[in-house]
Structure 1
Amino acid sequence: MFGKLRKYKTQNQNISLEFEHQRGSITILSDSIVRVFSQMEDAVPVSKAIEHPADQKAAYAAERKEDYLEIRTSALTVRVYDEFYVDFYGKNGDLLCRDYRGNRIHQTELSSEFADLMAQEGHQVTLEKETHQVQVMKELEEDQYFYGLGDRTGFLNKRGYAYELWNTDDPAPHVDSFKTLYKSIPFLLSLRNGKPYGIFFDNTFRTYWNLGKESQDYYYFAADHGNLDYYFIAGEQLSDIVTGYTTLTGRAPRPQLWTLGYQQSRWGYETEAQVRELAASMRQHRVPCDVIHLDIDYMERYKVFTWDQDSYSNPAKMMADLAEDGFKIVTIIDPGVKVEKGYPIYEEGKKKGYFVTTPEGELYINQVWPGDSAYPDFGAPKVRKWWADNQKFLVDLGVRGVWNDMNEPASFKGEIPDDVVFSDENRKATHAEIHNAYGHLMSRATYEGLKKHDRRRPFVITRACYAGSQKYTTAWTGDNHSIWAHLQMQISQLCNLGLSGMSFVGTDVGGFGSDTTPELLTRWVQAGCFSPLFRNHSNKGTVQQEPWQFDEKTLGIYRTYVELRYQLIPYFYDLFVGHEKDGLPILRPLVLHYEEDPYVRELNEEFLVGEQLLVAPVVMQGETKRMVYLPKGIWYDFWTGEKQAGGTHFIADAPIEVCPVYAKAGSIIPMYPVQSYVGETTVSQLTLKIFEGNGTYIHNQDDGETFAYEEGAYNQYRFTINEAGEFTCELLHGGYENRYQTLRICYRGYETIVDLAKEEVKKTYLTP
């Protein structure tokens, strides 16, 4: 396709390549990040993921060898061959990744006629193409593991799977064989013998990832349209790859503190009376809660930016009353705008050309919940601004966050045709190109609207997204079901989402579809309380899923783990502040920090929250004991303080009221008192739960709501502990006036109160 490499030219960070039949380029973005590009379409789209490339002037040298061009940085060696084969080597000369020179091998041949016959019985048959317009094949090593690609189904390690990245609304129970889901994040992490790397394929068309399913000799990523455009990211550790990727695509900004609290939702809170009753029941049953979500029923006949006045006589007063008791309202918004004469949103959008059209220039209409609907063209800046300004309707009523749904975009009357006309900024594009980025662009518009009109840190939730969406939105894994398999799968889904840049994520606790049981709900809340986005959500027609709908024992256990979440909110918040600096997720697979341990590379039923806490939830019905693996080092049972040596398996007791949790030696865990909602009382005393060993911890404190921290209005503390029990508190930055008055230190079964108002802030204390 490319032919022989004829010549090259360097200019700044770019190396232009001229082949016999095609041009390409290698761009040095940093010592460890390289872009491989060749224009294969008429247009070069604006990257949706990389909006503000880091301006790094990494030194490099390019030299023509006998049969390849060699490009060297301090961390990477790139060799470019004829046919635009590209191989990557580490700084020590070790091979990291090599293009596969052979042809694809189809192990299963299936005629189209027989495929049609199978389809008549109900089999879903997809015939793989032998080649694609863009297709990159890489050699597959025997000991290679794969992670990332967002919230795919299946287990943590993605080797042996094949996926298609095409945002898809499918409410059927998701199983391992699903190739498409709601999100498209074309970022893959590879790990082999201490040689990690990442590949980000920045192509918004339907893309294909075959990770050794077709052959054990190679893996490939491909697209039927678009350009060859991928980024190779190297690093010493797997965490370096995540940091490099989020340097490119952005990181989640720190959230408002209340968004880390418990959130209650159900498709079925249809009236103001039901919402008020729900809020009262939360407080009556002493289940802490900050957020109530309203699904599509709050709208007037499902029309966006309306409110049903029959069911909600005065929504502004309702939200003001609920706010007095600590509740915030988050409302759902879908992209489909009802086609209705006199409906202002539709009339304005049609008049100003804000909706997508057919190739002939006619308004494109499909159906979603309101019936016949038009789709906003979020790829156009003027449409994003219009959508952003429409958020003012919700903000003025008192809405505190927006939940974007159905933004794959979903459509009830068949999939939107590929040739429907969308925009890519100021040029025309097609649905085939914009589909995977549609939810991302909608979330961007929503974020910008909330930031403009609410002026606090925006809270946006999305179902569909693309690489880089973490800059604008949180996400949940979509319409899961109340089945044990989905409780199990959430661990690998959330871990891989975190590795893919999406740190503020969660699943519907208890399951959305089907009917939960007391045991399943209990085990789900025990795991779910450690996910960054902590929301219970269920479907119409299923059993009521609020915790008091079951027996007193279930309610009591549920309350305990929601209370635990509220105690751990400062720990979660510190992880978000840390994410701003290094891009590492909140919820993490063990392999992120223990990649040298072969056992954790496919450990599917445990996860880390930061580096300090390890959670081993029960995810099998009827189990009251479970096998736990702790990595090397010393660990402590979070509940009892019992010491446990790592590097081995053991059987942990896990009766229905216990979720096994362990703290790493030297961990310092900041904790708040239990509150009914965030901000119920001013926290003047910070509790530190400290486990023996050597450790350092950075804790952050600000108003938890505004952007004042960007101007220095925050406090930052450094706490240290050593094996001798010496504890030190240092105030590194003191720009926020509401400082803690005391520290309550819990260590080795003892408590020590440090009065920060009377003592010097920097002082060493010898704990018992």
Structure 2
Amino acid sequence: MKLLSTENGFILSHKNRVIFTHSTESPMLFLGVGESNFDMYRGNFDITDYVTERLAMRQVDVETFESDEAVKAVITFKFDGEPTLKMTVSQTLEGRLKADFEAIDKKYNRFWLRVDANQQERVFGCGEQLTYLNLRGKNFPLWSSEPGVGRNKQTEVTFMADVNDKAGGDYYTTNYPQPTFVSDEKYFCHLETTAYADFDFSNEEFHELQAWDIPQYLLLDKEESYEALMENITGVFGRQPVLPDWVHDGVILGIQGGTDITYDKIAKARQHGVEVSGVWCQDWQGKKVTSFGKRLQWDWQWNSEMYPELDTKIHELKADGVRFLGYINPYVLEDYPLYKIAQEKGYLATKQDGSKYVVDFGEFYCGVVDFTNPEACEWYKSVIKTNMIDFGLDGWMGDFGEYLPTDCTLSNGVDAEIEHNKWPYRWAKIQHEAIEEAGKTDDILFFMRAGGTGIQGYCHTLWGGDQLVDWCLDDGLASVIPAALSSGLMGNGIHHSDIGGYTTLHGKKRSKELFQRWVEMNAFTPIMRGHEGNRPDDNHQYDTDEETLIHLAKFSRIFKHLKPYIKQAVILNSKKGMPVQRPLFMHYEDDAQTFEIKYQYLLGRDILVAPVYNKGELLKRVYLPNDTWVHAFTGETYTGGWVDVEAPIGQPAVFYRAESEQRELFDVIRSL
């Protein structure tokens, strides 16, 4: 770290990169006062801010303290001669740059910080972003929410969703925001705050980081390689555990309807050669039917009427090589048994006056389990351990986490507006600890869509959320590719999506073609799992016809065949933080074109996947970095550059490196 005083300011650099440039003419910090309003409707937020002041902190006092080991600087920002904020800059033992912030004048609740940028710099991350991979040129509000339907204000489906349900979304709406970005200059920058934030990358000379509170600190570090950078990032936020071995043995079928239906569907799938590693029955605790479609009874215990004999059948399935997964979320259904227990013991969030607070989840209401209350956390862990793990579940979807309303009252006394973005972290931690305390970390899989800072060490895998059963770029099959890549750069290196998408609304219905293309993509991800969608009868399913079953069987065999390779990548993710799905530039940084490719990815080091994401597309245009590539399904060899390859159903554009140590394993794909 180096601090250079100038005539009217300073320049702060770290590892030979300028981080902050401050002068009276061009200040690096602004403080202000604002009043926010969060209008939530079923997880969708209409957010406004009335800013009464935004003041440039032009005046600074700089004190430096040098020793043999490090340089430390205390920079006091002033307005009209009065101290407003103190920034203490130092280098951590790990060599990272850290800037701690301390508010002197407590009236300020708006914060803008400018980090120096280069004109050609590209940036990535900010949690899970589904529309853009390179974020340069736009701003990204960071607030955990429903991503919305369509996620593009120019499309009819988003317009319909906005008009009917306030649920259209936009390019930046995401289940998982994080105030962290990664630069193609191989540094990461993290702002430690759970307040509403907005990272603006539209200026050529700086990145402006906004927060609706005074952050605790900024953390930044630079490395010589992307591999080292990922190890550094996950050294800060944590690393995902290794997936249970059984996950690699085939597809996890999404099934609903009861014990007999589950058994029948497993048998039918196996008869057609489908490799089945598990069944995910989200309605194991019962269902509720609303105008949205088939929903669930949010009281987390076995429903013996829908699933008779499951208490014994679940163990029979496991002995037969099929794991059984269920569903849970952080809310309890009003007036049902778990709600009554939580209400009686004071484990639920309340109104300001301490009275009952429930959230509208779409024609039913639920209480919010207060995860800031340690006793409530222990109780909810006991629910998971007793009703799910001890019962025999091998995993579950840990849904939601984004719905914490800003007007409820929590036991720790922290404003819910500040706790909102931390809720997914708290939810992941409870699930992980329940599994860990049961001694089942190596055997149980849970997956979440919500995320936030620090989720990396607790969430076993992300899934991409509720994609539309459509071909749209912003909310369909294509969107889960930048989602996996951006979240992987944040340290969430295990990611997957619902085969075929989920949201079936406004005339959108899953087609056979879409389902098959999604199967082809998911066979080349760390986890292969299906979902019937919110309106199963409207959607094409894996067992709708024999051709679809045969197609699924083929790609489940490929997925299982790749187990040694995928497992190796999963272990590397756990040890070093290298994501399983990687942007092309991670291994081909000398090729400028790779930084602009957002709908292709590397699976591990040696497989390149270019999913078909357009309806009716049979000829796929693919970019291959400079290497020797073998088409996994034709055996044809290619070198770098743009190529056009035939991609009929059953023959996706997947390539492997000719020089790979796993060449023999990959060669077999053509015969499966």
TM score, norm. by length of structure 1:
0.70
Which of 20, 34, 46 is equivalent to 2:97? 34
Counterpart-to-counterpart distance in 2, 1:145 and 1:256 = 36
Compared CA separation, residues 430 and 665, structure 1 to 2 (3 A): same
Compared CA separation, residues 170 and 594, structure 1 to 2 (3 A): closer
Counterpart-to-counterpart distance in 2, 1:511 and 1:505 = 15
Which of 67, 72, 85 is equivalent to 1:15? 72
Counterpart-to-counterpart distance in 2, 1:167 and 1:639 = 40
Question: Match of 1:319?
Answer: 314
Cα offsets for 1:264-304 (capped at 9, x unmatched): 455x7132222222222222222111121122463377242
Counterpart-to-counterpart distance in 1, 2:362 and 2:323 = 25
Compared CA separation, residues 15 and 318, structure 1 to 2 (3 A): same
Residue 596 (structure 1) shift: 1.8
Residue 545 (structure 1) shift: 3.9
Question: Match of 1:208?
Answer: 198
Q: Secondary structure at the match of 2:326?
A: strand
Counterpart-to-counterpart distance in 2, 1:282 and 1:386 = 39
Compared CA separation, residues 313 and 650, structure 1 to 2 (3 A): closer
Q: Does 1:650 align with 2:640?
A: no
Compared CA separation, residues 16 and 327, structure 1 to 2 (3 A): same
Cα offsets for 1:586-606 (capped at 9, x unmatched): 001101111221111111232
Counterpart-to-counterpart distance in 2, 1:499 and 1:361 = 41
Question: Match of 2:563?
Answer: 569
Q: Does 1:626 align with 2:602?
A: no
Residue 207 (structure 1) shift: 1.0
Q: Does 1:224 align with 2:218?
A: no
Counterpart-to-counterpart distance in 1, 2:138 and 2:99 = 25
Cα offsets for 1:530-578 (capped at 9, x unmatched): 122321113232434432313x443323221111000011111111111
Question: Match of 1:471?
Answer: 457
- Regions of 4+ moved over 6 Å: 10-14
Please say which structure displays the higher CA radius of gyration: 1
Q: Does the 8 Å CA contact 1:475/1:506 hold for their aligned counterparts?
A: yes
Question: Match of 1:513?
Answer: 503
The one-letter amino acid paired with 1:238 is Y
Q: Does the 8 Å CA contact 2:192/2:217 hold for their aligned counterparts?
A: yes
The one-letter amino acid paired with 1:167 is S
Q: Does 1:25 align with 2:88?
A: yes
The one-letter amino acid paired with 1:453 is A
Compared CA separation, residues 346 and 553, structure 1 to 2 (3 A): closer
The one-letter amino acid paired with 2:530 is N
Residue 399 (structure 1) shift: 0.6
Counterpart-to-counterpart distance in 2, 1:611 and 1:519 = 29
Compared CA separation, residues 270 and 547, structure 1 to 2 (3 A): closer
Q: Does 1:393 align with 2:387?
A: yes
The one-letter amino acid paired with 2:421 is N
Cα offsets for 1:432-484 (capped at 9, x unmatched): 11111212211211111122225342422112111221222211111101212
- In structure 2, the gaps of 5 or more residues are 1-56, 154-169, 289-296
Which of 118, 132, 141 is equivalent to 1:164? 141
Q: Does 1:586 align with 2:580?
A: yes
Question: Match of 1:460?
Answer: 446
The one-letter amino acid paired with 1:470 is Q
Compared CA separation, residues 132 and 433, structure 1 to 2 (3 A): closer
Q: Secondary structure at the match of 1:329?
A: strand
Q: Does 1:378 align with 2:371?
A: yes
Counterpart-to-counterpart distance in 2, 1:370 and 1:308 = 21
Cα offsets for 1:135-187 (capped at 9, x unmatched): 11234433111111222231321112322111112551233833321112222
Question: Match of 1:298?
Answer: 285
Question: Match of 1:407?
Answer: 401
Instruction: Calculate percent identity across the aligned residue pairs.
Output: 22
Counterpart-to-counterpart distance in 2, 1:439 and 1:595 = 33
Q: Does the 8 Å CA contact 1:171/1:480 hold for their aligned counterparts?
A: no
Question: Match of 1:64?
Answer: none
Counterpart-to-counterpart distance in 2, 1:557 and 1:337 = 39
Structure scoring higher RCO (CA < 8 A, sep ≥ 6) equals 2
State how many pairs are aligned.
572
TM score, norm. by length of structure 2:
0.79
Compared CA separation, residues 9 and 428, structure 1 to 2 (3 A): farther
The one-letter amino acid paired with 1:248 is V
Cα offsets for 1:390-424 (capped at 9, x unmatched): 112211221111211122126xxxxx2x242235x
Counterpart-to-counterpart distance in 2, 1:459 and 1:553 = 30
Where do 1:279-294 residues align within 5 Å?
A: 279-294=266-281
Residue 650 (structure 1) shift: 2.0
Compared CA separation, residues 541 and 5, structure 1 to 2 (3 A): same
CA RMSD of aligned residues (A): 2.8
The one-letter amino acid paired with 2:129 is R
Cα offsets for 1:630-651 (capped at 9, x unmatched): 21232223334433222x2222
Question: Match of 2:9?
Answer: none
Compared CA separation, residues 248 and 284, structure 1 to 2 (3 A): same
Question: Match of 2:601?
Answer: 607
Which of 242, 248, 252 is equivalent to 2:236? 248
- In structure 1, the gaps of 5 or more residues are 44-130, 411-415, 671-687, 692-745, 751-768
Question: Match of 2:665?
Answer: 689
Question: Match of 1:503?
Answer: 493
Cα offsets for 1:34-88 (capped at 9, x unmatched): 1212023999xxxxxxxxxxxxxxxxxxxxxxxxxxxxxxxxxxxxxxxxxxxxx
Which of 433, 443, 446 is equivalent to 2:418? 433
Question: Match of 1:138?
Answer: 115
Question: Match of 1:739?
Answer: none
Q: Does the 8 Å CA contact 1:503/1:586 hold for their aligned counterparts?
A: yes
Q: Secondary structure at the match of 2:189?
A: strand
Q: Does the 8 Å CA contact 2:349/2:368 hold for their aligned counterparts?
A: yes
Counterpart-to-counterpart distance in 1, 2:134 and 2:321 = 41
Compared CA separation, residues 668 and 210, structure 1 to 2 (3 A): same
Question: Match of 1:546?
Answer: 541
Residue 247 (structure 1) shift: 0.8
